[in-house]
Amino acid sequence: MALISKHKSVPNQSTQYLVLTETTGVFGTLNPGGYGAGQTPTGDREIVEIISSNYSILDYNGTLTYTGSTTPVTTELLYTTNYNSTNAQLIAGGTTQSFDLATLIGVNYVDAVYKSIYYNWFDGIDVVNQNTVTGNLINVPDYNEFINAKYIEINIDGDLFIYEVVSVNTNNTIQINESITLTSDHAYSVAYESTAYFANTYNINKCLHSKIAQLSLSTCSCKNKSTEKLYEAVMMYMSIQPNMDLGKYTKAQEIIQALTIYCNGGECNC
């Protein structure tokens, strides 16, 4: 089975820190998509073979892709960083990375659902073997190397061109998302990508704790109604993570937006 890259991004709702953990794991019977000498292609998908990695944070409906340059085309990108081979290998081995998003992103890090994208790179096992080809089909040494792969980076006369892998064919060709002209053999790299979503509810969390603490002291004329709305808000807050776990990111975002409006209202909210 080919490599399946996995990671998680876990926010701390009390500090606005985010922790990145790669969870691809070690190849084995119980984890056939992990790193190891027995992974496909044999001997080339071990942790020590990773040459670099990239991590990006976007709004939950943001996008990231490559269309032939070394810089990705993105929408709604909030933060990005990359790691050299040493650090990328440490992350693959389980070393976590912590980010102070309140500082790194600033005022743009509002309560919302976010998308995180992590991908790491491996050297190709041989060269992209071409005679004279113009189009979006490329001849590769072994199609198995590209199963589950997201990107290919081709070195053409010292310049790097990155494309998205659209499909992998058993006749040792792959289809990329843009046309390319190749007239000789070229070195290349292969990237495996994973996507994980997380919900930042830092301000809502503070708001609800404050309202709960002040509830018994309230002299508001509509205290009962205020209590009912607070109870409803707490239940809505508790539903955010279950919706995230189910992949219902739009619904989670709508709940966060509703709670943000509630927290920005008057003291009694009645």
Are both 185 and 212 inside the same structural domain?
no
Domain end, chosen from 200, 227, 247, is at: 200
The overall average pLDDT reported for the chain is: 91
Better-predicted residue by pLDDT, 75 or 220: 75
pLDDT of residue 228: 86
**Same structural domain for residues 233 and 133?**
no
Domain that holds residue 87: 1-200
Please check whether residues 43 and 127 belong to one and the same domain: yes
Predicted confidence band of residue 184 (pLDDT cuts 50, 70, 90):
confident
Average pLDDT, integer, range 174-193: 91
pLDDT band for position 9 (50/70/90)? very high
| pLDDT at residue 220, rounded to an integer | 63
Same domain assignment for residues 25 and 115: yes
- 26-60 pLDDT per residue, tens: 999 999 999 999 998 988 999 999 999 999 999 99
257, containing H or E segment: helix 249-263
In a domain, 269, yes or no: no
Instruction: Give exposure, 217-232, as e/b (b: 16+ Cβ within 10 Å).
Output: eeebeeeeebbebbee
User: Looking at the structure, do residues 213 and 254 belong to the same domain, yes or no?
Assistant: yes
**Assigned domain for 268 exists:** no
Number of domains into which the chain is organized = 2
The pLDDT value given to residue 232: 93
- Boundary residue ending a domain (185, 200, 215): 200
Domain boundary among 200, 221, 238: 200
- Provide, rounded to the nearest whole percent, the portion of the chain with pLDDT above 90: 75
- The answer to whether 192 and 3 have CB atoms below 8 angstroms apart is yes
pLDDT at 234 over 60: yes
Mean pLDDT of 195-213: 94
Residue 70 in 3-state DSSP?
Answer: coil
Answer whether residue 211 is part of any domain. yes
Torsion of CA 65, 195, 149, 191, to 10 degrees: 70
158 in the same domain as 259 = no
The percent of residues above 70 in pLDDT, for the chain, comes to 93
State pTM to two decimals: 0.91
- Cβ partners under 8 Å of residue 54, min gap 6: 80, 81, 82, 83, 117, 118, 119, 120
Quick check: 86 pLDDT over 70?
yes
Distance CA 22, CA 36 (A): 15
Per the CB < 8 A criterion, the answer to whether 79 and 17 are in contact is no
Q: Mark whether 154 and 235 lie in a shared domain.
A: no
CA-CA distance, 88 to 54, in Å (whole number)? Answer: 9
In this model, does residue 128 exceed pLDDT 70?
yes
Both 56 and 177 in one domain: the answer is yes
Among 86-100, 186-200, 224-238, 251-265, name the one with the lowest average pLDDT: 224-238
